[in-house]
């Protein structure tokens, strides 16, 4: 009887090992087969990810042929930064309707470049892009800081 138990144990071990091997082979082959069958039904579609940033309180983004925000209010002494995220050059030129009032002019702001200007006096400062003076306009409103 002892011999039978030992041979039964060895038989169970061998049978378990064989079942394990067969299951592993089925899993490996099955996954590959499932992928091949799914290829006809699945299609990879690239997705463009658009990340939209928000300007800080003293920043103006230039993108899609627009100044964002178009109107900016700051306290005197603040340095304002215009950042060109567009793929074409722009300018920031003080004045209205394409008429330069000689207060400030950035010169050409190439794509991914920045123009910065510190506003020391209170006032309303309209500006435009000299390449697109009729369509690309903005304004900086400079106020005195609150008294503390």
Contact present, 122 and 144 (Cβ < 8 Å) = yes
Q: What tokens appear for 24 in the block?
A: 């592993």
Model confidence at 14: pLDDT above 70: no
84 domain-assigned: yes
Q: What CATH number is given to the structural domain containing 138?
A: 2.60.40.420
- At residue 146, the pLDDT reads 87
48 domain-assigned: no
As a three-state string, the secondary structure of 116-142 is EEEECCCEEEEEECCCCCCCCEEEEEE
Phi, psi of 23 (to 5 degrees): -60, -45
The C-alpha R_g of the chain, in whole angstroms, comes to 35
5, 77: one domain = no
When pLDDT is cut at 50, 70 and 90, the band that residue 5 belongs to is very low
Model confidence at 19: pLDDT above 70: no
- CA–CA dist 144, 147 (Å, integer): 9
54 domain-assigned: no
- At residue 57, the pLDDT reads 80
Model confidence at 29: pLDDT above 60: no
Lowest mean pLDDT segment, chosen from 22-31, 45-54, 62-71, 119-128: 22-31
35, 65: one domain = no
Task: Give just the sign of the alpha carbon dihedral 10, 13, 19, 20.
Answer: negative
What average pLDDT score do residues 15-42 get? 55
Among residues 103, 89, 77, the alpha carbon closest in space to that of 136 is found at 89
29, 98: one domain = no
64 domain-assigned: yes
Range of the domain at 72: 59-143
Counted domains in the chain: 2
| List of residues 6+ apart from 6 with CB closer than 8 A | none
Q: What is the pLDDT of residues 52-81, one digit of tens each?
A: 566 678 999 999 999 999 999 999 999 999
- At residue 61, the pLDDT reads 97
Peptide bond into 19 cis (omega under 30): no
For the chain, percent of residues with pLDDT exceeding 90: 55
Please report where in the chains the tokens 């928000």 appear, as a residue.
54
Model confidence at 9: pLDDT above 70: no
- At residue 39, the pLDDT reads 60
80, 36: one domain = no
Please report where in the chains the tokens 């178009």 appear, as a residue.
70
53 domain-assigned: no
């Amino acid at each position: 009887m002892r011999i039978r138990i030992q041979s039964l144990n060895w038989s169970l071990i061998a049978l378990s090992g064989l079942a394990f091997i067969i299951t592993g082979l089925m899993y490996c082959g099955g996954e590959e087969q499932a992928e091949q069958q799914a290829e006809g039904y699945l299609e990879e579609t690239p997705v463009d990810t658009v990340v939209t940033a928000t300007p800080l309180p003293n920043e103006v983004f230039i993108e899609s042929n627009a100044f964002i925000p178009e109107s900016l209010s700051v306290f005197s002494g603040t340095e304002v930064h215009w950042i060109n995220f567009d793929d074409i050059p722009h300018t920031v030129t003080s004045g209205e309707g394409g008429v330069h009032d000689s207060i400030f002019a950035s010169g050409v702001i190439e794509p991914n470049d920045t123009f910065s200007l510190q506003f020391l006096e209170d006032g309303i400062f309209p500006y435009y892009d000299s390449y697109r003076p009729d369509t690309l306009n903005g304004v900086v409103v400079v106020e005195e800081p609150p008294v503390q």
